[in-house]
Amino acid sequence: MKTRHIIALLTASIFAAQSSVFATQTTYRLQRVPVIEQIPKTGYKRVVDTHFVEETITTYETVWETETRERHFTVARRVPETSVQERHYTVQRPVEEVQYRDTSYNVVRTVPETTEREETHFVTRQVMETQERQVVENRRVPVQETTLEERVFTVNRPVTNYVETVVDRGQHVNQVNTVPGRNYNRLAWHRANYVDPATGEARWRVPGFYWTTMQGPDRHEVNRVFQSNPVLETVPITTNVQEQRIEQVPVTRTTFQDERIVRTEQVQVPRIVQEEVVRRVPVTTYRQYVERVEQQTPVIVRRMETEERVERIPVTTFKTVLEERVEPYEVRVARTVPVTRTVQRPVTTVRWEPYTYTLERQRMEVRRIPITSAAPQNTQSDDPADRIPVFPE
C-alpha cells in the first residue's frame, strides 16, 4: 500500500515539474477528490400468483331419526310386615375410687463460696523506634506522540425488497366435549330380596353392605382448537450492501523513559519488651445441700361394673310381589346420506420478475489545482489532463 502511494506522489511531482517548465508563472497543488460512480445492477424477485379451481366433492353426513319402542319388564314390589322382638345385652358402668400415692422428692440447693488467689504472668509490650534508610526508586516516565493514519473500513448499507407470501392468520376457538362420569365402587346397603338385572328374576340374599358400581355425573370440557386462515401478505426483506470508506485517524503512541530517584526515609521499627505482672483473682466454689420434701398425691382409679338389660325392638320384614309392566321409550337411529358440493381449491404458481437497482461506489482521484494571486485557494481544475489516477487501497 505505501509503495503505491509513493509512486502516485512521484507521478504527480513529474507532472508538476513539466507544467512548471512550460508555464513558469503558474504553480499547482495536489488535492485528493472523492468521485462517486453509479453502477446499475439487475436482480430478481419472487412473485406468487394464486388462482382457484372449482371441484365437485361428495361427502357423507349422518341424519338422526327418532323411533318409539316398547320395553317389557317385571317389577318386584315389597310389602312390609312388622313384629316385636326382645334383645338381651350387657352394659358396663364405670365406678371411680380415690387412692393416695407417695410422691416425695429431694431438693438439691447449691451454695457459692468466694476466695482469692495470686497469679503471676508476663506481659509482652511493643516499643516503636525511629530509624533512617535510603530508598532508591526507578521510574518510567511516559512520553506520548500523536500521528495521523489512513484507515479503510467497510460500511453495510441496508437495501429493502418486498416479497409476497402466504401467512396463516388463524385463531383458537372453543370446542365443548362431553365426558361421561367415572365409574367407582362403594359400600351400599342392600335388603334381603333383590332382582337380578341380567335375568329379571327375584332372588334371596342376606341383607347388609355390598360393593356396588356407581357412575358419577357427566362433565363438560372446553378445549381450545386452532382454526387456520391463510392470508396473502407482502413481507419486507432487508439485505446489506458493503461499501468501503477512507478516513484519517489520529494514533497516539506512548514511549517510556527511565529515571532514578534516591531519597532518605524515616522508618518506625517495633521492639518487643516483656514485663512481669502480679494480680489477685477471685475464685468461686459451690457446695450442694439436699432437702427432703414429703408429698401425698390423690389418684383416681376407675373400674367397670356389669349390668344385664332387656330391650323390645320392632322388626319389619318385607314380602316380594311380582308385577308385569310395559314402558315405551324413544331410540335415535343414525342414517348416512351422501351430499354433493362444489368447492374452490387454491392453486399457487411462483415466477421470478427482474428489477433494476443502482449501487454507488466511491473512489479517490488526485487533481492539480493552480495557485495564483488572483485565483482563490479552493479552485479545482476540471481538465482531465490535470487528474492523476490513484490506485485503490
pLDDT (tens digit per residue) in 265-307: 888 888 888 888 888 888 888 888 888 888 888 888 888 888 8
| Alpha-carbon span 192 to 203, nearest angstrom | 9
- All 3 cell numbers of residue 292? 427432703
| Alpha-carbon span 75 to 282, nearest angstrom | 105
Q: Calculate the alpha carbon distances from 164 to 235, 237, 390 in Å.
A: 6, 10, 45
* Residue showing cell 488535492: 31
Q: By three-state DSSP, how is residue 373 classified?
A: coil
Give pLDDT, residue 195: 67
Distance of CA 39 to the CA centre of its chain: 49
Taking alpha carbons only, the member of 388, 382, 384, 381 closest to residue 27 is 381
DSSP assignment letter at 218: P
The alpha helices in 139-259, defined as continuous H runs, are none
Q: CB under 8 Å to 88, separation ≥6 — which residues?
A: 308, 309, 310
| Alpha-carbon span 233 to 237, nearest angstrom | 13
Give pLDDT, residue 313: 86
DSSP assignment letter at 378: T
With beta carbons less than 8 A apart as the criterion, state whether 349 and 49 touch. Answer: yes
Q: Calculate the alpha carbon distances from 182 to 137, 210, 222, 276 in Å.
A: 92, 19, 18, 93
Give pLDDT, residue 9: 61
With beta carbons less than 8 A apart as the criterion, state whether 159 and 243 touch. Answer: no
With beta carbons less than 8 A apart as the criterion, state whether 243 and 155 touch. Answer: yes
Give pLDDT, residue 5: 55
Give pLDDT, residue 375: 40
Q: Name beta bridge partners: 111.
A: 287
| Alpha-carbon span 17 to 9, nearest angstrom | 12
Give pLDDT, residue 138: 81
With beta carbons less than 8 A apart as the criterion, state whether 95 and 302 touch. Answer: yes
Give pLDDT, residue 388: 46
Question: How would DSSP label each residue in 138-173?
Answer: EEEEEEEEEEEEEEEEEEEEEEEEEEEEEEE--EEE
Q: Calculate the alpha carbon distances from 304 to 90, 94, 96, 369 in Å.
A: 12, 4, 9, 134
SS (H, E, C) 44-102: EEEEEEEEEEEEEEEEEEEEEEEEEEEEEEEEEEEEEEEEEEEEEEEEEEEEEEEEEEE
Q: How many CB atoms lie within 10 A of CB 177?
A: 9
- All 3 cell numbers of residue 15? 507532472
Q: By three-state DSSP, how is residue 24 classified?
A: coil
Ranges of the chain whose pLDDT falls below 70: 1-26, 194-195, 197, 200, 372-393
DSSP assignment letter at 25: T
* Residue showing cell 512548471: 20
